[in-house]
Amino acid sequence: MQGQRLGGQLLGAAARRAILAATSVGGLILIIDAKNDRAADWYASYGGVRLIGIERTKRLIEQQHFGFNGKRNTLTLTTGELARICASSVSIHAHSATKKLRKKTHEECDRHPQYQQKRIQAMNQTPPMATRFRGYLPVVVDVETGGFDPRTDALLEVAAVLVDFDADGILRPVETLAEHVLPFAGANLDPRALEFNGITDPWHPFRGAVEESEALSRLFAPIRRAVKASGCSRAILVGHNPQLDLGSINAAAERTGLRHNPFHPFSSFDTATLAGLAYGQTVLARAVKAAGIAWDANEAHSAIYDAEITAALFCAIVNRWDSWERKL
């Protein structure tokens, strides 16, 4: 990657994240731990101030109540210089302090017009989704399978619904992605599962099914684009009792050797739990009706319908919570 002039872009991206974090937790001191003299000189060209000597570095950090093993090529900027950090976009590692120190940091920052301007710009340019779910993009997923064991039973259908906030701050479904999947070699197909989901012939040509690797590649690509566009760090799966959904995605990705699975490997949002809290109902059909959403029993148990109705339920719960928060 060297020689492609990407260093400045990466440094700027890191700076924007640090500036945004500072508005929430209070950046007390920003430190650049360069790997050698050449790297240190490069960071210094962006406004970093070199600290000469390990002992000086240690003393500075100890004064701020941090433990730090200073290295030879260390550059730093303290709270008094925070405006210059923000202005020059030098921020590689941000530390948080106690509540008292965070308050002091904000007070010092607020006296710097340059910092105020940078903070306002960062907040205005940050998509709402980037901060709403701790940097995760919720993606509602439903699968139809040949059984309940993701390691041995076939993945037959997968649907994902992307959600986003509209101009009024209301969370809404925006796009549905869906794939019919051919059973992998040696996959188990439980007749009871096929009867339940109505996929009587997984190899029927009218299904338009594709191999697992192709199905997941088609699914993952737009999800990764949505994660990037939303300013999030990765996707988090939303499902109604999502253990099977997340397990099936992870197992299929492992079987096919696909890298860069956009979903968090074990965390998820469960609409059964959320609906139990919001509406006192955990069964999907009952929760949907309690939320005032139409339920069609004839369409249920297809991946697309279940994903879309679960997305509608998830959005209703989030919007209900957000409306309560605005009233407080």
Name, in order, each residue with C-beta under 8 angstroms of 208's C-beta and a sequence gap of 6 or more. 180
- pLDDT in the model for residue 51: 63
The answer as to whether 2 is a domain residue is no
Specify the number of domains making up the chain: 2
Name the pLDDT band for 69 (thresholds 50, 70, 90): very low
Quote helix, strand, coil % in the chain, to nearest 5: 50, 20, 30
Domain range for 77 is: 7-126
Question: At which of 93, 126, 159 does a domain end?
Answer: 126
User: Which residues lie closer than 8 Å to 213 by C-beta, 6 or more apart?
Assistant: 256, 257, 258
Residue range 94-98: mean pLDDT, rounded: 37
Active-site residue identified among 95, 106, 264, 301: 301
Return d(Cα 294, Cα 233) in angstroms, integer: 33
Residue 287 shares a structural domain with residue 166: yes
Confidence of residue 71 (pLDDT cuts 50, 70, 90): very low
Across 51-60, 72-81, 203-212, least confident range: 72-81
User: What is the per-residue pLDDT for 55?
Assistant: 57
Is 301 marked active-site? yes
Is the model more confident about 309 or about 79? Answer: 309
Q: What percent of the chain has pLDDT over 90?
A: 59
Of 111, 126, 141, which closes a domain?
126
Q: Mean pLDDT check: name the lowest of 26-35, 36-45, 218-227.
A: 26-35
Amino acid at 211: E
213 vs 10, more confident? 213
CATH code, domain with 148:
3.30.420.10
In this prediction, residues 225-244 reach a mean pLDDT of: 97
Residues 100 and 175 in one domain: no
Confidence of residue 325 (pLDDT cuts 50, 70, 90): confident
Q: At residue 70, does pLDDT exceed 50?
A: no
